Amino acid sequence: MATKREGSFEESLAELESIVSKMEEGEPELSELMKHYSRGVTLSQKCLKALERAEQTMDLMVREDAAGGVEEAALEIEGDQ
């Protein structure tokens, strides 16, 4: 049984933007509006999780120490307090 492939962050964001556009144009039926809203919430949560994972990854910087091992240090970005 084939599983449904999860879209990338970019695909999810593009679909979310499309849903917002559909919701903003005209006056959709309530059932259609609810369907779009539900899918939008799911997509926004997926995007937020992907961004959180990316942020956690970026917070660590991996470098080699003098003994040839790996040392991890927090990545500091100017202006980020």
DSSP 24-35: HSS---HHHHHH
Instruction: Give the domain ranges of the chain.
Output: 9-74
**Helices marked H in the chain:** 9-24, 30-58
Cα–Cα dist 16/41, whole Å: 9
pLDDT of residue 10: 95
Q: What is the pLDDT along the chain (81 residues), one digit of tens a residue?
A: 444 556 799 999 999 999 999 888 878 899 999 999 999 999 999 999 999 988 877 776 666 666 667 676 666 666 555
